[in-house]
Chain A
């Protein structure tokens, strides 16, 4: 991640001045999904772009080096080569933005990616994911260890008890949720976050990234997220440095759509490699 939040004096009066009208935001969220659609080549190109924003994620208790290895391979070759060739996109070096794993699997991921000969960053969730309710000391140690293992991006779970009592923390990216909640990435919440990112940029010149995570499974969803960011923040936010989608099954649906776009047929399950 190139841009870093240089930080600013904490001024809580900003936050207290912010007004969010809930029903109006809900209406906007409904509209945004209906007002922008992309079809045909545009859809294919947008979907390929979406691939480059994916933090390809596995966060299961039973993750082992073998499925991590498969994940990393998929991150390097997210779309079947012949499909990319048909779109004349095979030389664009399309990979996912990162792979995202538990701290204990960072080593496996780094190794697998090195073996595949690519420099896709490894992101690690850390700091007592997903609750964040562990001691500061162990949380910091967790980050340190993950970085030592080769993780270059850390998804920190902030201590929400501090937020709820008004003690905020800063970051380069903000994420809708851990993906482990009952309600995860929703448009209304995203709209509020994106507007906050824009306000922060207008006030300080710092660009903060945005990562929706959890529940984004279909190619259509991913397109809606792209247009949401495009509409609320503009094209300059549509790059992996500032926008990520945390997802595990999204990629295979995108690949199916690309398959359909290229061939005009719907793919069978076995037509596309698993991740």
Chain B
């Protein structure tokens, strides 16, 4: 026997049967860094951009601390150069037929396939994540994403007719992220014809490599530009002229701050915030499999964040025992080791989790740590926290970091829903139950973007992933991911409506006082008076009224002057009506909308004469009433066919794409089209199961109040509430209300800016017109699919099957 490669340890291992290191060579990652002389710049317009006189930040191996390369930090002018390149590229990229874009994406997928080793070793080396997860999970999914979106691009002309790409997208990624998070967002953006400028945190080489691979493909170098720089560049990129949308992915408070600072700016904002997930373990679950779900969610390198775990009391002991047993077998180590479950994510992540656990301990929580984990920093063992008092701050506000699981008990499924929904977060959750009825009840009841039944963390390019509440309402994947980067054809490009001297503290704070303006005169009967709240007309809290004049300047009538207390009452009434209305079938909702349409037609002469007094010709007035009735019927019918089933590769069983109501929707109607705009907004909102608080046209709220007379007899109380009064003041009250789930605002530029700013409070999705008038009588603008998209939110419900 010549050279013997056997080491001395075989004997010991034979006895101990321990695992050994399975190192993955990262020579090719280093070789790639060498091609850049270990100095990474930015990748803009198909070329490396390495400007002089820039600070540089070392890119380090998070585990050994070894310096791998130095990364130049961008300055504002580099950002501008990248945006300019993307703007130029958009001109050609967006007008090419979808098949050309499809081809390009397919070629990128093939390039990734050919160089996947480089991709996975580089990613694992610099992020510290387990190479197995990157290799078998991320890299494969990245290719699937490109293929899926290539198909979407190739059918864009037919499938997405009536929509056009927004323009240049600014993508902002958090300090620790997987390159997959970038792929999820650039794929749909590129597919529909947008171009991208991605701002990645310092020392993230993988996005640069991806941009290089894409750029070297040739004809469209500027479609994907990557610049690396500190968080201080976020506002610079976001306010860059030409950026039409900012997709932000990161921490909650940063997202909130960005929402405020982008109010009134040119770019639209899509937020995906927080990383925490939720797992519901019921007493009929396959507990061992649920424990594997916990591992997938928090104790592996699959998920980005930690986990809140709700366990039914009757199986608490059993579940905890199995969790502890399983924890003990977890292995942590260098990410480039092929046999570890968890790597390490650098010093910052380690500090974060240490703080969280110390805080939990100080509140009397029980902390369990186990597993085969190196003792030195930045490794952190899998951690199970229990007995955390319910009101403690670390449970409520700060999100659970990786790799922590916070377990708490619940008694019944009903209570589980209350606890699970009792947080501002709405990302993803899994339900573990072998009882179909219970699993579906919980799946439908959870207020989150994604629900997996008896699985956790499954993802597929065709399934939309997103969230609700303070997790942000942007989506990626599936049809919803495409709409993120589209707008209805013909919509003018977004412009800044920023008014620098708008004072957020005082906007709409005071109500101008009004005095009696004489008696109402005219042929029509006296208009209804009061605020329509909870199904009946009520006197306003302020006990004062506002005169409404007709087109010839005569007094048309008085409307009640609503205020903060009235808004509070209206939102409360809407909340009370919500569960009942959302629980109705689309058919039942349609029936009610049709009944209202019929009532409108019966009331046609009154409505038309009131419109006439506002200066509308009789024929046009009658047409407006008829069109309003048609809108109600159309939305009632349209909503019958909402949501659909997706088929996912590798999964036996369906994924349901549900369209769920948002909750209480605040609608501030435009001044013009006092009847048609009111109905056109009300109809989709109600059809999708929302309950509504509406501020009708300020110029002539009387039309809406006429309709209220019919709603009073037809609708359940609180379904639709109409509050008249000073528009700015009511807007302020609604926009700042934390329990209003979404807001549509059609009014001034300043009002829009305020609404966008104020929505940061609970991160409610807002749709603000920014002072642009809308052709409510046109089908596209008055009843287009955009309204339907905005009137409901998507939920993906995964239902794997097996006997």
Contact = CB atoms under 8 A, between A and B. Distances in A.
A92 interface: yes
Chain B binding surface, main DSSP class: loop
B22 A39 contact: yes
B288 A195 contact: yes
Interface in B639-696: 652-653
B434 A19 contact: yes
A82 interface: yes
Contact of B10 (A20, A36, A45): A45
Interface string A194-206: 0100000010000
A41 B136 CA distance: 25
Given A38-B19, A42-B20, A24 B9 contact: no
A86 B6 contact: yes
B13 A46 contact: yes
A88 B1 CA distance: 14
B454 interface: yes
Contact of B339 (A20, A35, A49, A82): A35
Contact of B289 (A28, A41, A49): A28
B11 interface: yes
A202 B652 CA distance: 33
B802 interface: yes
A41 B339 contact: no
A145 interface: no
A262 B1 contact: yes
B802 A22 contact: yes
Contacts of A27: 292, 455
Contacts of B22: 37-39
Listed residue (A21, A49, A261) with the most chain B CB atoms within 10 angstroms of its CB: A21
A235 B18 CA distance: 9
A48 interface: yes
Listed residue (A20, A24, A39, A92) with the most chain B CB atoms within 10 angstroms of its CB: A24
Interface in B348-389: none
Interface string B10-28: 1111100111111000000
B132 A261 contact: no
Contacts of B20: 38-42
Given A35-B341, A41-B9, A86-B4, A20 B17 contact: no
Interface string A107-146: 0000000000000000000000000000000000000000
B338 A37 contact: yes
A38 B339 contact: yes
Query: How big is chain B's contact interface, by range?
Result: 35 or more
B293 interface: yes
Interface string B733-772: 0000000000000000000000000000000000000000
A88 B8 CA distance: 8
A48 B13 CA distance: 10
B289 A86 contact: no
A231 B339 CA distance: 13
Interface in B748-803: 800-803
A195 B329 CA distance: 15
Given A41-B6, A238-B17, A23 B292 contact: no
Interface in A192-225: 195, 202
B13 A86 contact: no
Contacts of A235: 17
B436 interface: no
A270 to B, nearest CB: 17
A58 B293 CA distance: 41
A162 interface: no
A49 B17 contact: yes
Contacts of B801: 23
B11 A89 contact: yes
A264 B5 contact: yes
Contacts of A34: 132, 136
A1 interface: no
B7 interface: yes
Interface stretch (B106-114, B279-287, B724-732): B279-287
A263 B1 contact: yes
A226 interface: yes
A274 interface: no
Listed residue (A39, A202, A235, A261) with the most chain B CB atoms within 10 angstroms of its CB: A39
B391 interface: no
A11 to B, nearest CB: 16
Nearest to B455: A24
Contact of B4 (A35, A40, A262): A262
Contacts of B653: 23
A264 B3 contact: yes
B292 A48 contact: no
A230 interface: yes
11 contacts: A24-B293, A24-B454, A25-B289, A27-B455, A28-B292, A35-B339, A37-B338, A39-B21, A41-B13, A45-B9, A87-B6
Interface of A: 19-28, 31, 34-42, 44-46, 48-49, 82, 86-89, 92, 195, 202, 226-227, 230-231, 234-235, 238, 261-264
